[in-house]
Amino acid sequence: MLKESRRFFRKIPYNFRLFLAVILQGIVSGLSGIFLHYLLEMVESLAFGQSEHHTGFLTDGVSSSRIGLSLIIVGLSSSLVWYFLQKRSKIYSIKDQMKDETSQYKLHFLRQLFHSIWQIIAVGGGAPIGKEAAPREIGALFAGPIGKICTLSMKDRIFLLACGAGAGLAAVYQVPLTSVFFVFETLGIALSIKRFVLVGLTTYVSTYIAGLVISDQALYQISAITWSLKEIWIIPLLLLFLTPLAWLFGRLSKAASSNRIKDKRILLTLPSAFLFLAGLASYFPHLLGNGRMMAQEVLNGSSGKTVLLLFILKALVVLITLWAGAYGGTLTPSFALGIAGAALLGIILGGDSQLTMLLLGSVCFLSVTLRAPLSATGLVIGFTGIGLDSLPYLLITAFLAYDFAKMLDSFPWGSILCQKSKNKVIR
């Protein structure tokens, strides 16, 4: 069957073959998005008796004992799943698959697929990390077989992997144009008109297919807001306050992921991390999940003490969970942290935080952690449903935060710390 398919595609002109591969990739990614949507709903219903898609806050009306039991079960099962998945073979990231030297690796398809699916199960059960990595990974995973069937060149197979990642993101969040920017900003794909069109075709097909089930309504409920030049004065303050925090969170989350526990220790560390989370959730249930509940809580209005604790604890549990062995994204947690951070700044300044300020904080944080200012801007607009009159303010904040973060990258922190250590020793 496979050989016959390849023979059929070889008879088709190459450019049309690439076009068909892109369309097929969009369809598969869209269907995958639908599957993950229903899977998340099912897991949330089992864990908490309700789904986040049908209620404002997932944990509202749910007893602490049920929340704790769900987290313990998810922690124990996740430790076993990820231990055995990684015992005999490596789990490859999207970027690993796109490297020339690793693109030839024969991934264990089912193992890689189950790994991505389990991320959704973990988030549905209360894990404090993002769900966005799973649809991107599944989209990229299916790009391999599609590229082989369509007999694409190795270069275009790698490009199709990037298309699959963008299509997966577009499907679950219904953000096709933003996902195009995401592909070129984060995956290192060289920009050209042809590639821009092909990526856009993939993301829009995926969005349309998934949109038959997944709503394109804004994820966050906010009141109508008006943007004006009065918002300009707050941007420098937000940048000075939030960018270093976002930069630090980004560095620490990458370090946690790079040093993630994968051996037998995961059988202890990951359940312990979820047990710690269960203890915190009895007081702060909005810490659970990908950050949507926390962001909405801050948007609705919270006390300064609550916002401060949510900001610190959310960052902490994300880092601990990743280090302890779990897999997941930091996109939606970064969005929530940006909103909470902006609210903190508003409290420090002695006034009520305006919605415009909170959204500027979210795009600032996202731009730094994603290192993708255009994607960050598009995600904030897509998540909140705000009008295009916000675009200039969000873009300015996103690009300035991005440039500020690059300055922090180039600063010789290691040399300074080493010098301080030497001075202490001398003294």
Look at residue 7 in the predicted model and tell me its pLDDT. Answer: 65
The answer to whether the pTM exceeds 0.85 is: yes
The residues, any chain, with a CB within 8 Å of residue 228's CB and separated by 6 or more, are none
281-312 pLDDT, tens digit each = 888 888 888 888 888 888 887 777 889 999 99
Q: How many CB atoms lie within 10 A of CB 69?
A: 13
Q: Which has the closest alpha carbon to 25: 177, 208, 147?
A: 147
Integer CA distances (angstroms), 420 to 252, 348, 417, 423, 425, in order: 21, 31, 5, 5, 9
CA 202, CA 183: separation in Å to the nearest integer? 11
CB 78 within 8 A of CB 118: yes
Tokens 């991107």 belong to residue: 136
**Residue 93 has what DSSP assignment?**
P
Sketch out the chain's domains with CATH numbers.
Answer: 2-211 (1.10.3080.10), 229-412 (1.10.3080.10)
Look at residue 427 in the predicted model and tell me its pLDDT. Answer: 41
CA 343, CA 227: separation in Å to the nearest integer? 18
Q: Which has the closest alpha carbon to 133: 337, 327, 320, 334?
A: 327
DSSP string, 25-79: HHHHHHHHHHHHHHHHHHHHHHHHSS-TTSSS-TTTT--HHHHHHHHHHHHHHHH
For 60, the token pair is 């509202």
Look at residue 101 in the predicted model and tell me its pLDDT. Answer: 52
Q: How many CB atoms lie within 10 A of CB 172?
A: 27
Q: Which helix (H) or strand (E) holds 231?
A: none
Helices (H), strands (E): how many in the chain? 18, 0
Look at residue 282 in the predicted model and tell me its pLDDT. Answer: 87
Ranges of residues in the chain with a pLDDT under 70 are 1-11, 53-56, 100-106, 351-353, 413-427
Q: Which helix (H) or strand (E) holds 151?
A: none
Look at residue 2 in the predicted model and tell me its pLDDT. Answer: 56
